[in-house]
């Protein structure tokens, strides 16, 4: 990829040709306030917070301005700060104010921007706050949608359209009543939403939040167990309990994306009825045994059924390589072609 040289805030920077000013600045540790930008999505320039001043051109939004050879840009000036401050104040005055009770507290992009720009209470008092409250949608079994905390950045709408190709949500109504809604303003559970949660993980504020949110104390890298795709995941662990799960953006299989099972179907791991030791039935009752004893028991029983009185059901949760070994074992070792796959039944 071609490299070009430009200057941002007096720093000479080498950037990849075709990238934007915002991407280049963030990659080089220069913070530019933004809300509607996300690296997985095409830029739209909705929030207008990423204003920069380009020499010879004036103010422009950095998320849609490509870098050019010899470009000189400033991220701070009185004119820029004035435009940013007004945009943030209008968002905050319409926003839910109880940050301590919000699950996105300390991780909220609106908080980050407001802290960077600095908000004055006196200026907010001059603005007339709307009195209307949107109903909170709790119909989805995995996450809630609170339109009162929404900043209308459109990230959820673009995620559903560009990444998932579902378009279950879009902007609806007008003026102060503008909100992100499903078709016919129906609850999420009654819409085309697939509950994949891709919009939830990208929402910059607390408008889309998983149910029963808990912050993990550590993360463990793993592979999703639900099918043979091999999607990479990070398990958020608190004590000995898994409290959340996110996709691994560096995994070449899924690049951070997950389906509804992979993202939200982890509670079985800590279920009190989950088996953690092998069981063998003795005198009509299952009893716990050591793994070596269980494996020897299975090997002996398999030997008794070798030669045709045997069938194997392969699993969709295994990889293709593992299922290949299963069919090889069934045909070569057990001497039968009685093998099927649960995905075909």
Contacting residues for 287 by C-beta, under 8 A, at least 6 apart: 279, 280, 281
CATH of domain 3-125: 3.10.20.740
Sorted by sequence, the CB contacts under 8 Å of residue 177 that are 6+ apart come out as: 132
Spatial separation of the C-alpha atoms in residues 184 and 156, rounded to whole Å:
18
Helices (H), the chain: 21-27, 78-93, 109-117, 121-125, 155-158, 198-202, 260-264, 291-304, 320-328
Looking at residue 343, what is its pLDDT?
73
The pLDDT, as a whole number, for residue 98 is 81
User: What average pLDDT does the segment 233-256 reach?
Assistant: 93
pLDDT for residue 128 is more than 80 = no
Phi, psi of 74 (to 5 degrees): -120, 140
Question: Residue 52: phi, psi to the nearest 5?
Answer: -135, 165
- The answer to whether residues 87 and 59 touch, using CB atoms and an 8 Å cutoff, is no
Strands 51-54 vs 58-61: parallel, antiparallel or unpaired: antiparallel
Higher confidence at residue 278 or residue 90? 278
Percent of the chain with pLDDT over 90: 69
How much is the pLDDT for 22? 96
131-212 belongs to CATH 3.40.50.300: no
Tell me the pTM: 0.83
For residue 313, the number of C-alpha atoms closer than 13 Å in the C-beta half-sphere is 5
Please name the residues in contact with 261: beta carbons below 8 A apart, sequence gap of 6 or more.
224, 226, 227
Say how far apart CA 311 and CA 337 lie, in whole Å: 8
Cβ neighbours of residue 156 under 8 Å, at least 6 residues apart? 169, 180, 199, 202, 203, 207, 208
Q: Kindly tell me if the per-residue pLDDT of 308 is higher than 90.
A: no
Kindly report which listed range (24-33, 45-54, 160-169, 317-326) carries the lowest average pLDDT score.
Answer: 317-326
How many residues are given for the chain?
345
Q: What's the token pair of residue 117?
A: 């720009």
Least confident of 182-186, 287-291, 317-321: 317-321
Identify the pLDDT of residue 132.
66
Mean pLDDT for the chain? 91
Compute CA distances 310 → 58, 218, 334, 340, whole Å. Answer: 77, 45, 7, 12
Per-residue model confidence (pLDDT) at position 130: 64
Give the SS3 label for residue 80: helix
Q: Over 90: is that where the pLDDT of 236 sits?
A: yes
Residue 23 above 80 pLDDT? yes
Please check whether the two domains, 131-212 and 214-274, share a CATH topology. no
Tell which residue, 171, 165, 167, has the closest CA to residue 151.
171
Q: Phi and psi for 47 in degrees, rounded to 5?
A: -75, -25
Q: Is 70 exceeded by the pLDDT of residue 173?
A: yes
d(CA 74, CA 7): 8
> Which residue shows structure tokens 């849609």?
64
Per-residue pLDDT at 131: 63
Is the pLDDT at 171 greater than 70? The verdict is: yes
pLDDT tens column, 58-117? 999 999 999 999 999 999 999 999 999 989 988 888 788 788 888 898 899 999 999 999
pLDDT at 288: 94
Per CATH, the number for 214-274 is: 2.20.25.90
The C-alpha atoms of residue 16 and residue 69 are separated, in whole angstroms, by 10
Instruction: State the average pLDDT over residues 144-163.
Output: 94
Domain ranges of the chain: 3-125, 131-212, 214-274, 279-341
pLDDT at 242 over 80: yes
Q: How confident is residue 154, by pLDDT bands cut at 50, 70 and 90? A: very high
Q: What is the mean pLDDT of residues 244-249?
A: 94
């Amino acid at each position: 990829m071609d490299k070009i040289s430009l200057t941002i805030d007096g720093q000479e920077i080498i950037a990849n040709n075709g990238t934007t000013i915002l991407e280049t600045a963030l990659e080089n540790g220069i913070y530019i306030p933004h809300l509607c930008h996300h690296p997985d999505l095409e830029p739209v320039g909705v929030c207008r917070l990423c204003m920069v001043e380009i020499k010879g051109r004036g103010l422009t939004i950095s998320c849609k301005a490509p870098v050019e050879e010899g470009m000189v840009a400033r991220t701070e000036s009185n004119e820029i700060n004035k435009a940013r401050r007004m945009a943030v104040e209008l968002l905050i005055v319409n926003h839910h104010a109880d940050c301590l009770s919000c699950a996105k507290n300390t991780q909220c992009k609106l908080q980050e921007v407001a802290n960077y720009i600095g908000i004055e209470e006196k200026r907010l008092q001059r603005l007339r706050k709307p009195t209307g409250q949107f109903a909170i949608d709790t119909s989805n079994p995995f996450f809630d949608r609170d339109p009162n905390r929404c900043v209308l950045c459109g990230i959820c709408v673009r995620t559903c359209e560009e990444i998932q190709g579902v378009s279950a949500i879009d902007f609806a109504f007008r003026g102060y009543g503008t909100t992100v809604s499903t078709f016919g303003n129906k609850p999420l559970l009654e819409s085309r939403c697939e509950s994949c949660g891709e919009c939830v993980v990208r929402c910059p504020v607390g408008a889309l939040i998983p149910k029963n949110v808990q912050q993990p104390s550590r993360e463990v890298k793993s592979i999703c167990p639900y099918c043979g795709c091999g999607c990479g995941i990070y398990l958020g662990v608190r004590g000995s309990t898994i409290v959340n799960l996110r996709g691994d953006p560096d995994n070449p299989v899924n690049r951070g994306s997950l389906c509804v099972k992979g993202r939200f179907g982890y509670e079985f791991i800590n279920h009190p009825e989950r088996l953690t030791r092998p069981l063998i039935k003795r005198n009509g009752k299952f009893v716990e045994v050591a793994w070596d004893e269980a494996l020897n028991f299975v090997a002996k029983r398999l030997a008794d059924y070798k030669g045709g009185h045997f069938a194997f059901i392969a699993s969709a949760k295994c990889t293709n390589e593992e299922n290949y070994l299963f069919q090889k074992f069934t045909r070569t070792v057990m001497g039968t072609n009685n093998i099927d796959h649960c995905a075909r039944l």
